[in-house]
Amino acid sequence: MSWCTPADVLSPNAKQVLTDMASNGSSEAAAVADCLNTIASNGEEQATDRYLVGCAEEIRDYAIRFINLMRPLVNCASCGKAIYQDEAIYAATWDDPNTSKPYCGKCDEDE
């Protein structure tokens, strides 16, 4: 991912943060920096630090939504702890050996 010059309307601090994000070697950080820089390029009102922080929070929230939709949570059948479905250990129970239930693998059923 290529990085261009930070928008002129950015504060010195925002320019430095976005430049650091874009050049740290992470394509994900560069993508966020590019997105925020694009928003800032839309005009002075959208280039304020406060506005861009709000945008970064929204990006974070949508990223979390994506994670949650792609990695749904289930509750451990033993302790009730929320765990990612793809990290759960599925095992049949004595009362219903034909149905497997999710377990976190970190709790003790004898507690």
User: Model confidence over 70-82: pLDDT tens digits?
Assistant: 888 899 999 999 9
Nearest residue to 74 (alpha-carbon basis) of 46, 37, 101, 96: 101
**If pLDDT is split at 50, 70 and 90, which confidence band does 111 have?**
very low
Q: How far is CA 95 from CA 3, 81, 99, 100, 101, in A?
A: 59, 21, 9, 11, 11
pLDDT over threshold 50, residue 1:
no
